[in-house]
Amino acid sequence: MRALDIDGAWVMEPRVFHDSRGSFHEWFRAPDLHRAAGHGLGLAQANCSVSSRGTLRGVHFADVPPGQAKYVTCVRGAVLDVVVDIRTGSPTYRAWEAVRLDDRDHRALYLAEGLGHAFMALTDDATVVYLCSRGYAPAREHGIHPLDPDLAIAWPDGLAPVLSGKDAAAPTLAEAERAGLLPSYEACAAWYAALRASRADGRPRVPAGR
């Protein structure tokens, strides 16, 4: 797994074996993630989305603790997947990084709790599957407008973005910060430390007072 410049994000670049029948690759390996992040991924939910070309989903995130870590790959077509550091106080606050996920190279992206996530479909029927450390909890879920000019994410030219009504109405990063919606880097770092000190049953030792 290759670390990105944003703390808490890694790209898994698998070996893909091809023969006359097709191909085979391992898109998730628990030991590799554990070596990179210092803890495992407690699987609570697995999602699958199918998107038409130009569909733009995100930027989504959840309250920390407990947040929601994601391990994302694209099994059909291609997407531009983006991780955004929305953790106030982070050395890379407001920074973003983009990774192409597709059905050729079969990369996967891991995002720790507290990071924002978005992607744009580059092909029709782009199929994205992702493993989540926590289940969907509407009261803890939030969004930031993916076209926020202050974030200035470089979405592909020549594609008209198609947003859901919810994403189109999402606040800018500055508005979300003023509203107190964003996770702090301090809270996220404490949560990561708790995960690294997880008990044998995989549940984190929550820091005192949280």
Q: Is the pLDDT of residue 116 over 60?
A: yes
- Residue 118's φ and ψ, nearest 5 degrees, are -150, 160
Q: Give the residue numbers spanning the domain of 25.
A: 2-196
> What residues are labeled active site?
60, 130
pTM equals: 0.92
> What SS3 state is found at 25?
coil
In a domain, 201, yes or no: no
Tokens at residue 131, please? 């493993």
Cα distances from 137 to residues 61, 66, 69, 133, 179, in angstroms, run 11, 11, 13, 12, 19
Q: What is the mean pLDDT of the chain?
A: 94
Contact 87, 181 (CB under 8 A): no
Q: What is the pLDDT of residue 204?
A: 58
Q: Is the pLDDT of residue 83 over 70?
A: yes
CATH number at residue 148: 2.60.120.10
Q: What percent of the chain has pLDDT over 70?
A: 94
The count of domains in the chain is 1
Q: What is the pLDDT of residue 200?
A: 40
Q: Is the pLDDT of residue 209 over 70?
A: no
In a domain, 115, yes or no: yes
Report the range of poorest mean pLDDT among 133-142, 152-161, 198-207: 198-207
- How many CB atoms sit inside 10 A of residue 46's CB? 10
Tell me the DSSP string of 51-84. E-TTBEEEEEEE-TTT---EEEEEEESEEEEEEE
Q: What's the mean pLDDT in 44-73?
A: 98
Q: What's the mean pLDDT in 79-105?
A: 98
In a domain, 16, yes or no: yes
In 3D space, the residue among 87, 84, 79, 60 whose CA is nearest the CA of residue 150 turns out to be 84
> What SS3 state is found at 32?
helix
Q: How far apart (Å, rounded) are the C-alpha atoms in residues 149 and 135?
A: 31
Contact 86, 49 (CB under 8 A): no
In a domain, 147, yes or no: yes
Q: How far apart (Å, rounded) are the C-alpha atoms in residues 161 and 54?
A: 5
Tokens at residue 171, please? 């606040």
> What SS3 state is found at 131?
strand
Q: What is the pLDDT of residue 198?
A: 79
In a domain, 208, yes or no: no
In a domain, 138, yes or no: yes
158 pLDDT band, cuts 50/70/90, is very high
Q: What percent of the chain has pLDDT over 90?
A: 94
Tokens at residue 32, please? 């590799």
In a domain, 93, yes or no: yes
Query: Which DSSP letter does residue 173 get?
Result: H
Report the range of poorest mean pLDDT among 60-64, 101-105, 187-191, 203-207: 203-207
In a domain, 112, yes or no: yes
